[in-house]
Amino acid sequence: MEFLIKENEYRERIERVRKVLRKRNLDALYLTNATSIFYLTGFSFISTERPAALVIPIDGKITFIGPLLEREHVPLATKIIEEVKTYLDYPGMKHPIEHFAEFLKEMKLANKRIGIDNKTGVAGMWGYKGPPLKQKLPDAKLVDMADLVPSMRLVKSPAEIALIKESAKWANLAVSLLQEYATEGTWDVEVALTASLDASSIMKKTLGANYEPLRSILPISAGFRGQIGEMSAIPHAIGTKHKIKSGDVIIAEAGVEIGGYSCELERTMIVGKPSVKHKRYFDVMTKAQDAAIKKIMDGVECSEVDKASMNVFKKAGLDHLVMHHTGHGLGLEGHEPPWLDIGNREKLKAGMVVSCEPGIYEVGFAGFRHSDTVLVTEEGFELLTYYPKDIDSLTIT
């Protein structure tokens, strides 16, 4: 198996874009978002202060414009991009936007209708400053097309789903190693690094020569992100100075990049014998997740999934401990549409992939959250992650 999207699928995506351009009477699409560029071409690069863009004309060569340091990188990664136009660096003796305007003139787009995902013409990373593209290309008509590629990404193809399923297999291994290595007296960072390294090495040996990470430095990123003890009640904690001790609630999580795509797997674990309160909160959380997962189905509003978990929390009298919605889309990014949120009336569609992760958090005590990756099907759902969820299996002794 090749662990990537094949060239013909990228070409089909490009043709879908061009059909939309024709329908909207546009001459080209200009993209600055690195994820969108990867989705259409398979080329992944590190976004920095140096502007970069992809230009897809109705007729003509698909062109990457960006810093010189990407010139040799592009052909190594993709055959979809047919031409590369570069400048030396930012800010340079001549500003990159000046170069971009000249490149578009060379492509005979200076006075054309161009769909664009960011009207400044740049992603604007890391302190970038510069004039908007329109200022240097006054005769062009720039049309907002920021939603085009994200809308294409909502429903996953069979190839995308296969990559996410492969990701889920290895996430299960990574979380099992986290649970095995998380013992009293260890620092969560050390556990995370060891589990990530060991799981990545095993995965590479198993998948063989055809596997390489395309969009991340670490193939498998596993850890606790500081969600140890009382810090587990901070859903987006970053780190903690405390070592793991008996009585701690810890939240383990793993993501695995396969062909640019990743699943999400999280489990709440308890070090030592769980208290009565631990058991109650854990039980309510798992019931809320089960209720939400069972609601997932083609045609169901995203809001209904969020309501299903919240109803469980309300019935238990713990809804005041909820800090976030039930889940979000998964694929090329850790968070992407659709949002499983009470305010989102968008309907789920077969082929969407979402996280389901309702949680409750009591500051000063602990947080409780499982996250699973779920595929929406016409009949209901398919659970792609399958690590044990019960408290006995997740108690570390």
CA proximity to 197, closest of 254, 143, 119 = 254
Which positions ≥6 away from 169 have C-beta within 8 Å? Answer: none
pLDDT score at 2: 79
Distance CA(315)–CA(284), nearest Å, equals: 9
Distance CA(292)–CA(240), nearest Å, equals: 31
| Cβ–Cβ under 8 Å, residues 127 and 83 | no
Which positions ≥6 away from 381 have C-beta within 8 Å? Answer: 293, 294, 296, 297, 374, 375
H or E stretch including 7?
Answer: helix 7-23
DSSP 270-318: EESSPPHHHHHHHHHHHHHHHHHHHH--TT-BHHHHHHHHHHHHHHTT-
User: pTM of the predicted model, to two decimals?
Assistant: 0.94
| Cβ–Cβ under 8 Å, residues 341 and 326 | yes
pLDDT tens series, the chain, 397 aa: 779 999 999 999 999 999 999 999 999 999 999 999 999 999 999 999 999 999 999 999 999 999 999 999 999 999 999 999 999 999 999 999 999 999 999 999 999 999 999 989 899 889 999 999 999 999 999 999 999 999 999 999 999 999 999 999 999 999 999 999 999 999 999 999 999 999 999 999 999 988 999 998 889 999 999 999 999 999 999 999 999 999 999 999 999 999 999 999 999 999 999 999 999 999 999 999 999 999 999 999 999 999 999 999 999 999 999 999 999 999 999 999 999 999 999 999 999 999 999 999 999 999 999 999 999 999 999 999 999 999 999 999 9
The Cβ of residue 2 has, within 10 Å, a number of other Cβ atoms equal to 9
Pull the structure tokens for residue 63.
Answer: 């062109």
pLDDT score at 217: 87
- Structural domains of the chain sorted by starting position, each given as residue range(s) with its CATH number in brackets: 7-152 (3.40.350.10), 154-396 (3.90.230.10)
pLDDT score at 163: 97
> Given its phi and psi angles, is residue 272 left (phi above 0), alpha (psi -120 to 50 degrees) or beta?
left
Which residue is it, tokens 């009336």? 345
CA 87 to chain centre: 30
pLDDT score at 124: 85
pLDDT score at 358: 98
| Cβ–Cβ under 8 Å, residues 86 and 67 | yes
